[in-house]
Amino acid sequence: MKNEKQRSDTELLLAARTCSEPFGVFYERHFASVLAFFRRRVPGPEEAFDLAAETFAGALASLPRFEPGPEPPQAWLFAIARHKLSEARRSSRIQDEARRALAMQPIQLDDEAIEILETMARAPAIELLDTLAPEQREAVNAHHLEERGYAEIAAELRCSESVIRKRVSRGLAVLHAQFQEGEI
């Protein structure tokens, strides 16, 4: 039997329907990127943490409906994340429906906890991503972190695939140059 940590995301999510531990591995694998996703979009670490918590609670509640498909599970997770962000922006408050439905207890954040969150949200690669021009960052993030195709991103942005490819390529070139320069 495979070690949990060797399982693919799809295997973890399918196994999580009957056993809790695989969801923990999935959580550990993706929490940092989800937190960083929100941290770049909301004012503070508390809001980012709440949204990340709500995203994983939403994912847990949606496990019975998760269907493996051509898109990686990370795309499914980020679709939930984007939806949570959209809800929160529109209502100007972070919803807690998923956590309430799961009877989860709120987690208090003290200064130490906030420091941990800020450190995690500023992981080196994520921090570097933040240094890119917004459209390059958006393109690299959509293609490499959210694993969406060029065509899909281009359709959303109503520009050609070649423009998206160029943005991704330039963004990666800048990131590569920064690694070479030892800026992290």
Partner 1 sequence: MSDPIRDLKGELLAAAERRQRHAALGSAGVARTSRRRWLERSHVQGRRRHLVALAAAVLVVVVGTASAFGGVRAFFLDRGFVGLAPLGATPSTPESGELEIFYKVDPSSWEPPGGWKPGAGRTLGRSLNWVYADGRLIWVRGDGFLEQRLTPEGVELMRSEILSTGEFGDEVPEPGGPPCAEGESPSDGDCQLPTPPPAPDKPLTVPFYTTIEVAGLGRLVHVDRARDLEHLEARLSDPASWLPESAWVDREVRAYVPSTYAVCYGGWPPDQPIEPSRLLTLLPPAAEDLLGAKDTTRKEGLFGSPGDFHVVVDHCSDVTNEEAHMLAQVFDDAGFEPFMPASRLGYRFETPGQNEKNAQIYFEPYLPHGEVICSVCG
**Window 44 to 103, contacts with partner 1 (CB under 8 A):** 46-47, 49-50, 52-53, 56-57, 60, 79, 82-83, 85-96, 99-103
Q: How far is the CB of 68 from partner 1 (least distance, A)?
A: 19
Side-chain half-sphere CA neighbours of 142 within 13 A: 22
Give buried/exposed letters for 107-127 (b at 16+ CB in 10 A, else e). eeeeeeeeeebeebbeeeebe
Among 34, 117, 129, 140, binds partner 1 (CB under 8 A): 117
| Least separation in angstroms between CB 6 and partner 1 | 19
Start-to-end CA distance of the chain, whole Å, equals: 39
CB-wise, 6 or 108, nearer to partner 1?
Answer: 108
CB of 24 to partner 1, least distance (A): 5
DSSP secondary structure string for all residues of 100-159: HHTTPPP----HHHHHHHHHHHT-HHHHHHHTS-HHHHHHHIIIIIS---HHHHHHHHTS
Positions 140 through 179 that interact with partner 1 (CB under 8 A) = 153, 155-160, 162-163, 170, 173-174, 177-178
Alpha carbon 137 to chain centroid, angstroms:
14
Least separation, in Å, of the C-beta of 35 and partner 1?
Answer: 8
127: nearest Cα among 6, 25, 32, 15: 32
11 binds partner 1 (CB under 8 A): no
**Smaller CB distance to partner 1: residue 24 or 124?**
24
Q: How many residues bind partner 1 (CB under 8 A)?
A: 78
